[in-house]
Amino acid sequence: LSQQYIKEVSFQGCGNTYVCPSYPIMPKVAFLTSGGIAPCLSASIGGLIEKYNQLDSDIEMIGYMHGYRGLLLGKSVAFSKEVKDNFHVLYDFGGSPIGNSRVKLTNIEDCIKKGYVSKGQDPLEVAAKQLEKDNIDILHTIGGDDTNTMAAALAAHLEKSGKTLTVVGLPKTVDNDVIPVKQTLGAWTAAEQGARFFQNIVNENTTSRRQLIIHEVMGRHCGWLTAGTAYEYRKLLENNNYLPELFISKDRWDVHAVYIPELDIDFASETARLRKIMDSNDCVNIFLSEGAGMDTIVREIEAGGGKVPRDAFGHVRLDEINPGQWFAKQFSEALGADKTLIQKSGYFARSAKPGLRDLDLIKKSAFMAAEMGLKGKSGLVGLDENNEDKLGLIDLQIIEGGKEFDTSQSWFGDMMADIGQK
């Protein structure tokens, strides 16, 4: 164990003072998952427990229920011996066994409104006092940029108060949009699962002539997941046999357009291109990032006097403004579609258990996070773009969200050229 957990004890007896040799004081570890779920949360907790078991099976662990909400309200669950002995079960489940929530500790008004703190209280101070009350030495935050920037704010607040807390985060987001992390936990699996989802949905093209299918994929500001899902789906197409004489062709089942926030959409040229595809294949399949065209949609809503729904972090609630419906409106009539189908793979994809690639990265990241925690080193464990994409400990203070997808990558360029989209 880290030297920070080695202490001495003095006691008096028979008129003399004795000093016992240094002995190890077990650190107490807490886990917290926050934000939306992704195919890595349960497995990350499993990986952390597994590594702590290897280091010292007597280490006490708890989980705060429903993220920062549970921390503010003092609601937690102790990890029993049975839980610690059966950590491997968590590798086979999606979601988070200790629950999630979207809470911004620096948004005092929202925390008061939701009843997490009382008027006049500072959520950061409330959280800090709860950690102190629970005797927490190491806090593991598993979430996206919002979760880990809140962890950074909490660590800074504690430091100003002269209190020591080691905070080690893990980067979770299906969007793969955390700066400077090369690959966030769960993103690969979400792309693979979204591809599986569309592998079934695409067969709906047989239910009507001239059918427009819009596959709406998660991705507020970053198009990585939409692009990755299209890429994984097209890999699945290579394994199929086709029967063109009976209208089962690769062209008809293929992806015909990919729209992401990083690329502008020329509706006039795209309509002309997709009209030809509709005429040829009797269907058009679009992969749409939910954040594509968001600024335009928001302007339309506000210009019409409507109010754009937003969460505690100020993010537009995309589920409530229906980007898929907006795009369907732009294309349906222009393409002469007899039927338009909009399907969202988000909940299906993000709820999965991790695939093999992700599970390998999750375990390596969690193992390093536990080691860093016992060494008293705070940060975010991830594939660091500032260090040749190597797995390492990244300063929490430089973690940001909103990383754009790099459209110059060869795999993406080749895919777009292959489907005929400029």
The catalytic site residues sit at: 175
Distance CA 41, CA 185 (A): 9
DSSP 185-197: BTHHHHHHHHHHH
Handedness of CA 78, 82, 84, 87 (dihedral sign): negative
Tell me if 202 sits within 8 A of 285, measured CB to CB: yes
Distance CA 284, CA 325 (A): 16
Q: Is 64 helix (H, G, I), strand (E, B) or coil?
A: strand
> Tell me, what DSSP letter sits at residue 334?
H
Distance CA 131, CA 125 (A): 10
Q: 271-278 long-range CB contacts below 8 Å, 24 or more apart?
A: 271/331, 271/334, 271/335, 273/420, 273/421, 274/331, 274/335, 275/334, 275/335, 275/336, 278/210, 278/212, 278/335, 278/336, 278/337
Tell me if 76 sits within 8 A of 115, measured CB to CB: no
